[in-house]
């Protein structure tokens, strides 16, 4: 479907859909097309990201494929890079985004094996997680600041900005 974003007269014939003689506007500003993020943590999802994507976007709390520690993510990124090489792509050309919707600045949360869940705990621990994920190649990080009220959500965001971000100087 990249044809929609790059051609003035897009056409496509596939197994499940076809189109021609259509107008598709406006075109994305990014060239040659907007970046394609492929989500999912399973091996087939990672293969799709390696073969077709501009970025891999896992959500770390999938119970079947957890990515809740630095080591778990490091192993997964190595698999992703291996898949990219299998498809003849430069692994370093793939961006990695990460969604940690469990962010908790109030207390460290233990995993079943006793390790600390990343992005939980003290400002120093969370900043260390951010630096470690960046070192692995994560260039986009989404944290879950949402709280029961808008006021509490904004307070959490402000706390992150004032207490944690300064400890990540030079990172994403």
* pLDDT, averaged in runs of 10, over the chain (172 residues): 82 90 88 89 96 94 92 96 97 94 94 95 97 95 95 97 90 52
Tally helices (H) and strands (E) across the chain.
Answer: 5, 6
Do the beta carbons of residue 137 and residue 96 sit within 8 Å? yes
The Cα–Cα gap between 98 and 92 comes to: 16
Q: What is the pLDDT of residue 77?
A: 97
CA-based diameter of the chain, in Å?
A: 59
What pTM did the predictor assign? 0.84
SS3 109: coil
Q: What is the pLDDT of residue 171?
A: 54
The Cα–Cα gap between 123 and 80 comes to: 30
Q: What is the pLDDT of residue 96?
A: 96
CA distances in angstroms from 122 to 65, 67, 159, listed in the order given? 26, 20, 12
């Amino acid at each position: 479907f990249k044809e929609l974003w790059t051609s003035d007269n897009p056409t496509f014939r596939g197994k499940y859909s076809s189109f021609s003689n259509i107008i598709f506007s406006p075109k994305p500003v990014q060239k040659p097309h907007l970046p394609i993020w492929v989500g999912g943590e399973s091996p087939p999802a990672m293969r799709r990201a390696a073969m077709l994507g501009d970025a891999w976007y896992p959500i770390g709390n999938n119970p079947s494929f957890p990515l809740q520690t630095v080591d778990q993510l490091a192993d997964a990124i190595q698999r992703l890079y291996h898949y990219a090489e299998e498809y003849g792509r430069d692994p370093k050309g793939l961006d990695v985004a990460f969604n940690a919707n469990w962010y908790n600045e109030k207390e460290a949360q233990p995993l079943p094996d006793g390790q600390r869940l990343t992005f939980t705990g003290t400002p120093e621990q969370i900043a260390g997680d951010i630096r470690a994920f960046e070192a692995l190649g994560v260039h986009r990080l989404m944290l879950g600041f949402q709280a029961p009220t808008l006021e509490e959500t904004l307070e959490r965001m402000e706390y992150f900005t004032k207490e944690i971000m300064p400890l990540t100087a030079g990172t994403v």
